[in-house]
């Protein structure tokens, strides 16, 4: 039996002995199994998953009149590009985009710094009581957020924030109406991501660390130089999730930000819904504009992400 | 060393022409020492000079935001010493998460626009300031229409100034009625209200189904737009609260009768089919106005409020429609509608109570209400303005002010108002979906709400 | 790194039997190495400890204290002992909301694992255009939930939504997803599956981490696709499946935003989920004490469920390395 090779592309030349019909059939059925059937299934599933996005863009481009059509039109008969302009003018879109970007970038930074370090402490160093403490980490996952809101708000309302006034560090006011409550906790980790990271780090054989320890490497060097590069796929996953969470977070900005100039995009979206009506085309146009950079980043990041994954798989 | 440029900067900061931050930056650029800058800043604390600021939060969005902003602008132009800043925040009639957390944290607004039927509840919770001291000996109960003033009070003390109000009417599509061979004159308001039985009889002539057996047109869907529990309960002579025993009364005979009519009406048409026609939105959810069933000629009758005049003007300018009173249970009964509306409150912990009160008097007083009435299709709550014909040049707008509002009922102003509304709504859904008999569903409402109310009893009448 | 495959098995909930664990004779005496490990380990997890104390322990204790009081959020809390907990037992809506939430979680979580696994396998196909499939399958996860909820309201409209048009074409009955109490929870379960792209990415990372040597060896033994999936892929994925179960359980029991945006608990209480009712009590009804008691009850329920899942997972989770 020939050793199977993973098929890397549709253009891989078939290795067949043309004289033997049976081999040709086997090859054909293999191609069918690997190339055709998966594609059909994938295309069907993708069509389903594309539908919400398609309908968002479709609605974003429709005129008021066309929104009234019954049954609804499957694609806009007249493209109303001005909906995008109107959506951007409806609230300070570019300012909110900037605000959201700052929060997202800081959230990713915080998550990527804190979670791997903490997960390392919970997986690669064997200290007494470690697993018991880790159960506490897990337990925190089950605390319903809505009831922490008030207590958290009280903390942030009582904590003065550091400012540089006249060249000196001073403390004034509180954290409300700043990005601190949204961003600072991210530097102290998130139980889900510690868990995810730990599950990953536990898969890396202990022998590697032990060897480095015998060579006299410090624990932090082992972490930074040996384990961290192995954990890139998990870090990629965490940065995607953390970034997306910050990008779309609603309840946090809703409660902590009070100055309209500091609002985020997800808050801006709610302005399209009034007491008794929704500006449907504009809501969808703004949503499209919010989603597009994420999709672009994902497509760009995807390659690096998958490379990270393949790096991790060499064992 | 004090240069002329530095003295100029200090003057600008005192005059409020530059901010403290700008002052600091420019002064450092001039090479002034940190000690001099900080002493200059200490001598000129923020807000010591110039106008005091009042922050005003609203959860309203367009189209109501523009009139509110114009009132704020007019106030600011007239008052150089108090400047109001309008901030749009997220929330709705009963969801005041943002207000509650902010007030707790000491970062709340100076003025908040609150749905009036929730005033008693928020006052009971301690979020709002008692306005007695500001009002003094003035008797505002004569200024505002009685129900609006009653809603602004809790346990005998005023916690709000009433702002706008509204009322509900029966709208009918003249074109659709003619098409079905119904004489629209039968519904003319001059002939008084129709009975609910008559309404059903006319409406059912307009029902149409498609090839799948689903409705494509229905004469009347009772539970859409303003077809609420309160609407039918009041229309059938119901009362929702018994003050003498301090009991909510969702199980009172009139309330049950109203629900029973809707239950039977839906049953005759197949409740699930009717609700599927009404759309995916359960009652209280927003429908895109351009897809509203009445706007798109798919229902011939709808119960809704004065603001719908603007909706029709915008999305269905060519539709010929009429307005009449809410139907009555039996020939000769008096038609009953109900009214709601918003109010202005001063939350606890405001940093500028005097400025807040000045603005409150303006926006909830004649200047603010006059502007709001003409710019939105809502109604004022000040007696003299309601009699001012110049505010209601549009005949239909006047119909709401003159024929509906004077006899309109209102929701009982209870410290459990939000809960009562939510539980009535839950029962309402069971009723129009024919999931549960009205009497049983409404009894559940009482079981859920009365324990919450009990702690506040006895309630003092205002 | 070639030899990693043969490492010994271990299980998450068993204490690691390592030479460093304190000996049973001197449970509190630590060797020098153990002391060093304790210091270094605590140093590594110290950011978590700080965050835990500030952002969780304080609010939790605060919540526990409030749960014994009658408190609107303003003024002085009034001590009522176990009053809130007693009232919960008699509150029929509390039981309804708990039922709705368990119903939703019991369906959404297992289904979520299956869908995410399916998507991950799809994302892992060795086809040249796979990056595009990955992006598409992930796409619904990036749409803000607020907008996504409205998109689904239109798509699942009983009279003119695309989904229902398809249902009718193939001869199925018309379903009023968000308007018929019998269907609301199922509609939310369905909606939740469009977010499976998130978890699928984690699964994909896991799939990529399975050494190809295992598959090669299995194919040499003549194992088919299904057998390879059952005997290699599935066992190797169990740690990540456990992760997803815990994540799904926690998020499932806290289901809130979709119902808050779309149905506000209706119709007829069919989507009054636990946290929605909790939120209403805290922020609409001014019953902060009651809401806090609800939070504690939910915390206990989920904790017990999670422990059961962990206990059960000992039978099927497989750890390589460790």
The confidence score (pLDDT) of residue A62 equals: 87
| CA separation for the pair B233, B167 (Å, rounded) | 15
List CB contacts (< 8 A) between B63 and chain A: 274
Of chain C, the end-to-end C-alpha distance in Å amounts to: 14
Interior angle at CA A154, CA A153 and CA A159, nearest 5: 100
Per-residue DSSP letters for A78-105? S--THHHHHHHHHTTHHHHHHHHHHHHH
Pairing state between β B247-248 and B241-242: antiparallel
Tens digit of pLDDT for each residue in B205-245?
Answer: 999 998 878 888 999 999 988 999 999 999 999 999 999 99
List CB contacts (< 8 A) between A138 and chain C: 246, 306
The confidence score (pLDDT) of residue B3 equals: 61
| CA separation for the pair B189, B191 (Å, rounded) | 5
List CB contacts (< 8 A) between A176 and chain B: 102, 105, 107
The confidence score (pLDDT) of residue C205 equals: 78
| CA separation for the pair A134, A6 (Å, rounded) | 39
Q: Of all helices (H) and strands (E), which one includes residue B218?
A: strand B215-220
List CB contacts (< 8 A) between C145 and chain A: 248, 250
- Map residue C46 onto helix, strand or coil: helix
Give the CA distances from residue A84 to residues A248, A249, B62, C301, in Å, rounded to whole numbers and listed in that order: 20, 22, 18, 47
A122 touches chain C (CB under 8 A): yes
Q: Which of B93, B107, B286 sits opposite A277 (nearest CB)?
A: B286
The confidence score (pLDDT) of residue C14 equals: 39
The confidence score (pLDDT) of residue C75 equals: 83
Q: Which of A150, A244, A266 sits opposite C288 (nearest CB)?
A: A150
The confidence score (pLDDT) of residue B147 equals: 92
Scanning A61-100 for CB atoms below 8 A from C yields: 70-72
The confidence score (pLDDT) of residue A215 equals: 87
Stronger pLDDT, C162 or B135, i.e. the higher one: B135
Are B94 and C284 in contact (CB < 8 Å)?
Answer: yes
| CA separation for the pair A102, B426 (Å, rounded) | 42
Of chain B, the end-to-end C-alpha distance in Å amounts to: 66
The confidence score (pLDDT) of residue B22 equals: 65
The confidence score (pLDDT) of residue B359 equals: 96
Tens digit of pLDDT for each residue in C195-252?
Answer: 888 888 888 878 887 888 888 888 888 888 888 888 888 888 888 888 888 888 888 9
**How close, in Å, is residue C90 to chain A by CA atoms?**
22
The confidence score (pLDDT) of residue C166 equals: 84
A119: closest CA among B250, C45, C231, C129?
C45
Scanning B241-300 for CB atoms below 8 A from C yields: 272, 275-285
A141 touches chain C (CB under 8 A): yes
| CA separation for the pair B74, B79 (Å, rounded) | 9
| CA separation for the pair C193, C186 (Å, rounded) | 11
List chains adjacent to chain C, taking adjacency as at least 3 C-beta pairs closer than 8 Å: A, B
Measured between CA atoms, the residue of chain A closest to residue B96 is: A255
**Among the ranges given (A99-108, B10-19, C65-74, C77-86), the one the predictor scored with the smallest mean pLDDT:** B10-19
| CA separation for the pair C189, C156 (Å, rounded) | 13
Tens digit of pLDDT for each residue in C300-320?
Answer: 888 888 889 888 988 888 765
User: Please, what is the average pLDDT of chain A?
Assistant: 81
Q: Predicted ipTM?
A: 0.82
A133: closest CA among A193, A205, A194?
A194
List chains adjacent to chain A, taking adjacency as at least 3 C-beta pairs closer than 8 Å: B, C
Indicate the length of chain A as a whole number.
315
Pairing state between β B157-158 and B338-339: unpaired
Are A269 and C211 in contact (CB < 8 Å)?
Answer: no
Backbone angles phi, psi at C182, to 5 degrees: -70, -20
Q: Which of A153, A260, A275 sits opposite B88 (nearest CB)?
A: A260
| CA separation for the pair A203, C4 (Å, rounded) | 9
Residues sharing a CB contact under 8 Å with residue A126, sequence separation 6 or more, in sequence order: C16, C18, C20, C21, C37, C41
H-type helices in B320-363, by residue range? 353-363
A151 touches chain B (CB under 8 A): no
Are B104 and A280 in contact (CB < 8 Å)?
Answer: no
| CA separation for the pair B398, B380 (Å, rounded) | 12
Per-residue DSSP letters for A113-149? HHHHHHHHHHHTS--TTHHHHHHHHHHHTTS-HHHHH
Q: Count of CB contacts below 8 A, A vs C? A: 302
Of chain A, the end-to-end C-alpha distance in Å amounts to: 26
The confidence score (pLDDT) of residue B287 equals: 62
The confidence score (pLDDT) of residue A179 equals: 93
**Among the ranges given (A194-208, B129-143, B384-398, B418-432), the one the predictor scored with the smallest mean pLDDT:** A194-208
Q: Which of C44, C142, C306 sits opposite A121 (nearest CB)?
A: C44
pLDDT band at B80 (very low <50, low <70, confident <90, very high): confident
B130 touches chain C (CB under 8 A): no
**How close, in Å, is residue A283 to chain C by CA atoms?**
7
Q: What are the CB-based long-range contacts (under 8 Å, 24+) for A224-227?
A: A227/A120, A227/A124, A227/A201
B92 touches chain C (CB under 8 A): no
**Among the ranges given (A121-130, B20-29, B430-439, C49-58), the one the predictor scored with the smallest mean pLDDT:** B20-29
pLDDT band at C322 (very low <50, low <70, confident <90, very high): very low
Residues sharing a CB contact under 8 Å with residue A113, sequence separation 6 or more, in sequence order: A187
Locate C126 and state its tokens: 């060795």
Give the CA distances from residue C296 to residues A190, A274, C67, in Å, rounded to whole numbers and listed in that order: 20, 35, 8
List CB contacts (< 8 A) between C240 and chain A: 199
Q: Which residue has the tokens 């069918």?
A: A32
A101: closest CA among A297, A264, A300, A249?
A264
The confidence score (pLDDT) of residue B264 equals: 96
Residues of chain A under the 50 pLDDT cut = 1-14, 16, 309-315
Q: DSSP character for C13? A: T
List CB contacts (< 8 A) between C280 and chain B: 422
A256-289: b (≥16 Cβ within 10 Å) or e: bbbebebbbbbbbbbbbbbebbbbbbbbbbbbbb
**How close, in Å, is residue C250 to chain B by CA atoms?**
24
Most confident segment among B83-97, C24-38, C65-79: C65-79
Indicate the length of chain B as a whole number.
462
DSSP E strand boundaries for chain C:
69-70, 78-79
Q: How many helices (H) and strands (E) does chain C have?
A: 15, 2
C92 touches chain B (CB under 8 A): yes
The neighbouring-strand residues paired with B157 are B154
Q: Is the pLDDT of residue C32 over 90?
A: no
| CA separation for the pair B448, B457 (Å, rounded) | 16
The confidence score (pLDDT) of residue B39 equals: 54
List CB contacts (< 8 A) between A302 and chain C: 131, 134-135
pLDDT band at C1 (very low <50, low <70, confident <90, very high): very low
Are B101 and A153 in contact (CB < 8 Å)?
Answer: yes
User: Please, what is the average pLDDT of chain B?
Assistant: 87
C308 touches chain B (CB under 8 A): no
| CA separation for the pair A203, A115 (Å, rounded) | 17
Q: Is the pLDDT of residue C78 over 50?
A: yes
**Among the ranges given (B79-93, B270-284, B288-302), the one the predictor scored with the smallest mean pLDDT:** B270-284
Q: Is the pLDDT of residue C267 over 70?
A: yes
A166 touches chain B (CB under 8 A): yes
List CB contacts (< 8 A) between A130 and chain C: 41
List CB contacts (< 8 A) between B96 and chain C: 283-284
Locate B441 and state its tokens: 């569903």
């Amino acid at each position: 039996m020939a050793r199977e090779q993973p098929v890397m592309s549709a253009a891989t030349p078939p290795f067949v002995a043309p004289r033997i019909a049976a081999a040709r059939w086997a090859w054909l059925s293999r191609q069918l199994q690997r190339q055709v059937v998966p594609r059909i299934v994938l295309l069907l599933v993708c069509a389903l998953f594309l539908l919400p996005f398609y309908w968002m863009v479709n609605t974003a481009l429709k005129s008021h009149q066309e929104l009234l059509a019954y049954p609804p039109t499957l694609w806009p008969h007249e493209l109303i590009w001005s909906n995008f302009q109107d959506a951007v003018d409806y609230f300070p879109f570019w300012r909110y985009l900037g605000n959201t970007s700052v929060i997202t970038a800081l959230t990713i930074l915080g998550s990527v710094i804190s979670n791997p370090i903490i997960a390392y402490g919970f997986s690669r160093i064997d200290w007494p009581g470690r697993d018991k403490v880790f159960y506490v980490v897990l337990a925190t996952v089950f605390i319903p957020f809505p009831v922490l809101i008030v207590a958290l708000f009280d903390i942030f309302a009582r904590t003065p924030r550091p400012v540089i006034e006249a060249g000196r560090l001073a403390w004034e006011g509180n954290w409300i109406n700043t990005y601190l409550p949204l961003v600072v906790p991210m530097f102290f980790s998130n139980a889900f991501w510690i868990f995810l990271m730990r599950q990953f780090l536990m898969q890396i054989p202990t022998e590697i660390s032990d060897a480095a320890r015998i060579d006299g490497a410090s624990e932090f060097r082992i972490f930074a130089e040996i384990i961290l590069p192995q954990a890139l796929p998990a870090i990629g996953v965490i940065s995607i999730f953390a970034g997306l969470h910050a990008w779309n977070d609603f309840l946090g900005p809703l409660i902590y930000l009070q100055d309209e100039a500091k609002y985020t995009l997800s808050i801006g979206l709610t302005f399209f819904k009034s007491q008794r009506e929704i500006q449907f085309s504009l809501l969808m146009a703004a949503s499209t504009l919010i989603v597009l950079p994420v999709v672009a980043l994902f497509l760009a990041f995807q390659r690096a992400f998958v490379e990270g994954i393949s790096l991790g798989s060499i064992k | 060393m004090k240069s002329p440029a530095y003295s100029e900067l200090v003057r600008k900061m005192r005059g409020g022409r530059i901010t403290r931050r700008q002052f600091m930056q420019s002064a450092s650029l001039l090479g002034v020492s940190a000690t001099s800058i900080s002493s200059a800043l200490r001598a000129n604390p923020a807000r010591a000079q110039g106008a005091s600021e009042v922050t005003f939060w609203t959860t309203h969005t367009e189209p109501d935001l523009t009139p509110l902003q114009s009132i704020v602008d007019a106030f600011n132009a007239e008052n150089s010493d108090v400047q109001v800043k309008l901030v749009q925040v997220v929330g709705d009639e009963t969801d005041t998460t943002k207000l509650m957390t902010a007030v707790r944290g000491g970062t709340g607004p100076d003025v908040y626009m609150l749905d009036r039927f929730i005033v008693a509840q928020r006052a009971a919770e301690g979020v709002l300031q008692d306005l007695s001291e500001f009002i003094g000996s003035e008797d505002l109960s004569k200024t505002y229409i009685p129900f609006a003033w009653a809603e602004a009070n809790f346990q005998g003390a005023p916690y709000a100034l009433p702002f706008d109000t509204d009322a509900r009417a029966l709208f009918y599509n003249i074109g659709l009625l003619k098409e079905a061979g119904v004489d629209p004159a039968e519904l003319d308001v001059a002939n008084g209200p129709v009975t609910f039985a008559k309404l059903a009889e006319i409406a059912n002539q307009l029902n149409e189904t498609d090839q799948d057996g689903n409705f494509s047109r229905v004469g009347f869907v009772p539970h859409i737009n303003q077809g609420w529990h309160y609407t039918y309960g009041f229309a059938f002579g119901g009362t929702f609260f018994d003050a003498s025993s301090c009991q909510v009364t969702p199980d009172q005979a009139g309330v049950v009768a109203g629900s029973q009519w809707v239950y039977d009406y839906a049953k005759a048409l197949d409740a699930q089919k009717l609700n599927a026609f009404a759309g995916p939105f359960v009652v209280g959810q927003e429908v895109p106005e351009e897809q509203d069933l009445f706007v798109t000629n798919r229902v011939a009758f709808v119960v809704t409020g004065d603001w719908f005049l603007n909706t029709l003007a915008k999305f269905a300018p060519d539709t010929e429609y009429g307005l009449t009173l809410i139907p009555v249970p039996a020939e000769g009964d008096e038609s009953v509608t109900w009214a709601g509306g918003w109010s202005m409150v001063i939350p606890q912990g405001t940093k500028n109570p005097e400025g807040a009160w000045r603005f409150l008097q303006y926006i909830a007083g004649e200047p603010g209400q006059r502007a709001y009435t003409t710019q939105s299709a809502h109604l004022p709550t000040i007696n003299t303005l309601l009699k001012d014909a110049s505010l209601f040049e549009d005949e239909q707008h006047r119909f709401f002010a003159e024929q509906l509002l004077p006899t309109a009922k209102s929701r009982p102003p209870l410290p459990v108002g939000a809960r009562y509304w939510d539980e009535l709504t839950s029962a309402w859904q069971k009723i129009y979906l024919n999931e549960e008999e009205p009497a049983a569903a409404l009894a559940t409402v009482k079981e859920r709400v009365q324990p919450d109310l009990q702690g506040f009893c006895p309630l003092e009448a205002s | 790194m070639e030899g990693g495959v043969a490492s010994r098995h271990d299980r998450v909930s068993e204490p690691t039997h390592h030479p460093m664990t304190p000996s049973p004779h001197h449970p509190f005496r630590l060797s020098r190495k153990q002391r060093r490990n304790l210091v270094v380990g605590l140093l590594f997890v110290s950011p978590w400890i700080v965050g835990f104390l500030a952002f969780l322990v304080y609010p939790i204790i605060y919540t526990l204290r409030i749960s014994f009081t009658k408190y609107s959020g303003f003024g002085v809390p009034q001590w009522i002992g176990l009053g809130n907990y007693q009232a919960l037992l008699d509150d029929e809506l509390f039981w309804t909301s708990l039922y709705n939430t368990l119903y939703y979680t019991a369906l959404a979580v297992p289904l979520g694992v299956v869908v995410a696994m399916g998507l991950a396998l799809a994302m892992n196909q060795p086809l040249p255009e796979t990056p595009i499939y990955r992006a598409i399958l992930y796409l619904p996860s990036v749409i803000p939930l607020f907008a996504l909820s409205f998109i689904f309201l239109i798509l699942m409209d009983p009279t003119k939504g695309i989904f229902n048009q398809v249902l009718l074409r193939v001869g199925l009955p018309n379903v009023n997803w968000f308007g018929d109490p019998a269907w609301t929870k199922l509609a939310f379960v369905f909606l939740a599956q469009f977010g499976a792209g998130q978890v699928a990415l984690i699964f994909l990372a896991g799939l990529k981490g399975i050494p190809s040597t295992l598959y090669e060896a299995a194919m040499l033994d003549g194992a088919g696709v299904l057998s390879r999936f059952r005997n290699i892929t599935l066992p190797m994925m169990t740690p990540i499946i456990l992760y997803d179960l815990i994540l799904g359980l926690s998020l499932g029991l806290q289901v809130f935003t979709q119902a808050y945006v779309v149905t506000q608990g209706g119709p007829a209480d069919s989507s009054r989920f636990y946290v929605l009712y909790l939120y209403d009590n805290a922020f609409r009804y001014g019953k902060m004490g009651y809401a806090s008691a609800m939070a504690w009850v939910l915390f206990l329920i989920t904790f017990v469920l999670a422990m059961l899942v962990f206990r059960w997972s000992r039978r099927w989770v497989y750890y390589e390395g460790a």
